[in-house]
């Protein structure tokens, strides 16, 4: 039995996996809250993560009807890019700045200029750094809280911090490190010169965690953490990774030919490659995978959070929201929403705000507004999907995961807007499942160095909806017209018509 943890923006999820049968026996979840500001601040108290980890684990074990003594390994998936600073006693120095924090946009622009723009960043790092990446958060902290940098002993990402809480060790793996902005994804090593540019004193460089392989252990569960979780001390903790890397494992996306689309707080699209296939489009991030290869990845910053904002505005529950979406016509009767409530990463608009266009006295209805936001966030995925295809990634079928994948209305919309077959995983919490699978793989490798992750995925990753949700050709044509209207609005507001196919 293996425990998979996924620490996301809105909460932490846990699953208990029987790696012999491939069955998820129990699930648990606990929420987080955001510390937000109108200047783009998006932070969280890391104690929420550990409290939620404990609560979600107890719920998952109880629902599985299991004694925690039967767990043989733990894997952690975490929201990428977040910055956690610890002092020499291992205590957090301030709240973690998250992937969706855009307060460090000015620092990112200066760093990008120093790197030679997007082209220089791609040539040096294999990625074009964006405001969400960790590196600009370090420079922001140095400029706004220099006293904290003086006290910093460890620089960790969210999943690294949870591994530290579990094991007492400061390590990381290549996949999550890829999203820091101070890591060379081709050579799989830190860019120490970049950190010395930010901090010539070398404090940041000395605070880096040790890099380990994705199939290696981060350590063993320390007694205090074991007691809090109800597990046995000394249980293996795998390297873990970023949520996208773990979700790739959790959807079996560990060989070329598959594209995973994640409908979570953010929207993600990614495809596996055996080589670091750097895209000519800076918005396509080529990260290392947590299975030994690379992932070409797109991330939009507004997805279920945008839907939730409209739901809360109208005071409707999720089922009623989806019913309203279904009532409205494709194209929302002319309403177009650019749902950049939190700025945006793809397209690169960190300081953008939401824009609603096409309003008339006869089309400004609750149903049209609900459809406009769901269509708007899905058009953001289409924008990224076109970038992936233009980068040479062929796709006739996508694997859909995340909380939004439970919606039949949204699943059909994704199929129609992308004009591809959509298959939903039987386990929508792919990040937690992938973390459990990586833990099982790591545990198996301690017994057999040749143990196969592919065999584990084949046994444990189930795909539902076979043969899949097919695009409706007539609906796809109407969505294409509405998408073109979205692109016109994007060009009029931000001048980006030339930036995507």
Task: Give the active site residues.
Answer: 243
DSSP H or E stretch at residue 287: strand 285-288
CA 348 to chain centre: 17
Cα dist. 332→201, 284, 481 in Å?
A: 56, 29, 12
| Cβ-based burial of 493 (10 A; exposed 0-12, middle 13-18, buried ≥19) | middle
CB neighbour list of residue 138: distance below 8 Å, 6 or more residues apart = 83, 155, 182, 195, 198, 199, 204
Cα–Cα distance, 76 to 4 (Å, whole number): 6
Cα–Cα distance, 121 to 102 (Å, whole number): 19
Cα dist. 59→25, 308, 440 in Å?
A: 11, 25, 21
Q: Tell me which residue of 143, 208, 162 sits closest to 182, measured CA to CA.
A: 208
Q: Which residues pair with 269 in a beta bridge?
A: 261, 298
DSSP H or E stretch at residue 215: none
Q: Are 205 and 194 in contact (CB under 8 A)?
A: no
Secondary structure, 3-state, 220-285? ECCHHHHHHHCCCCCCEEECCEEHHHHHHHHCCCCCCCCEEEEECCCEEEEEEECCCCCCCCCCCE
Cα dist. 343→18, 45, 99, 347 in Å?
A: 40, 22, 12, 10
Q: Tell me which residue of 249, 297, 270, 341 sits closest to 130, measured CA to CA.
A: 297
Task: Give the up-direction half-sphere exposure of residue 5: CA atoms within 13 A in the CB hemisphere.
Answer: 33
Query: Residue 454, Cβ neighbours under 10 Å: how many?
Result: 12
DSSP H or E stretch at residue 3: strand 2-7
Q: Which residue has the tokens 């894997």?
A: 75
Strands 259-263 and 210-212: unpaired
Which tokens is 316 given? 């409707």
Most distant CA atoms of the chain, gap in Å: 68
Q: Which residue has the tokens 């299991």?
A: 66
Q: Are 15 and 27 in contact (CB under 8 A)?
A: yes
Which tokens is 441 given? 């793989």
């Amino acid at each position: 039995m293996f425990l998979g943890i996924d620490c996301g923006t809105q909460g932490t999820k846990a699953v208990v996996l029987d790696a012999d049968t491939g069955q998820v026996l129990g699930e648990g979840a606990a929420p987080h809250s955001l510390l937000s500001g109108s200047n783009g601040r998006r932070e969280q108290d890391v104690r929420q993560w550990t409290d939620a980890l404990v609560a979600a684990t107890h719920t998952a074990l109880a629902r599985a009807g299991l004694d925690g003594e039967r767990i043989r390994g733990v894997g952690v998936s975490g929201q990428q890019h977040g910055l956690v600073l610890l002092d020499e006693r291992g205590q957090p120095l301030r709240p973690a700045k998250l992937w969706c924090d855009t307060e460090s946009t000015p620092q990112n622009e200066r760093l990008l200029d120093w790197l030679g723009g997007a082209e220089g960043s791609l040539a040096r790092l294999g990625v074009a750094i964006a405001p969400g990446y960790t590196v600009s958060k370090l420079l922001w902290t140095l400029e706004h809280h220099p006293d904290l940098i003086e006290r910093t002993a460890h620089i960790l990402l969210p999943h690294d911090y949870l591994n530290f809480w579990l094991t007492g060790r400061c390590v990381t793996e290549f996949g999550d490190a890829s999203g820091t902005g101070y890591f060379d994804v081709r050579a799989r090593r830190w860019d120490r010169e970049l950190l010395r540019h930010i901090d010539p004193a070398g404090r940041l460089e000395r605070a880096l965690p040790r890099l380990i392989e994705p199939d290696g252990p981060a350590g063993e569960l320390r007694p205090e953490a074991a007691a809090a979780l109800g597990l046995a001390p000394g249980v293996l903790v795998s390297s873990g990774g970023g949520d996208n890397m773990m979700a790739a494992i959790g959807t079996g996306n560990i060989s070329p030919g598959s594209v995973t689309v994640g409908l979570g707080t953010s929207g993600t699209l990614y495809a596996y490659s055996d080589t670091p296939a750097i895209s000519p489009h800076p918005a396509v991030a080529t990260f290392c995978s947590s299975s030994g290869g690379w992932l070409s990845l797109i991330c939009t910053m507004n997805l279920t959070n945008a839907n939730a904002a409209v739901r809360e505005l109208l005071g409707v529950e999720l089922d009623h929201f989806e019913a309203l979406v279904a009532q409205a016509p494709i194209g929302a009767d002319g309403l177009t929403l650019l749902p950049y409530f939190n700025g945006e990463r793809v397209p690169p608009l960190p300081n953008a705000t939401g824009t609603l266009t096409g309003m008339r006295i006869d089309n400004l209805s609750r149903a049209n507004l609900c459809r406009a936001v769901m269509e708007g966030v899905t058009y953001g995925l289409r924008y990224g999907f076109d970038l992936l295809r233009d980068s040479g990634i062929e796709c006739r079928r996508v694997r859909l995961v995340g909380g939004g994948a439970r919606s039949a209305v949204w699943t059909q919309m994704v199929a129609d807007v992308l004009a591809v077959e959509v298959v939903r995983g039987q386990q929508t919490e792919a990040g937690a499942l992938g973390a459990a699978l990586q833990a099982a793989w790591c545990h198996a490798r301690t017994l057999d160095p040749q143990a196969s992750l592919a065999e584990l995925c084949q046994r444990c990753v189930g795909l539902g909806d076979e043969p899949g949700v097919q695009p409706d050709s007539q609906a796809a044509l109407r969505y294409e017209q509405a998408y073109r209207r979205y692109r016109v609005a994007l060009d009029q507001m931000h001048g980006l018509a030339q930036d995507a196919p």
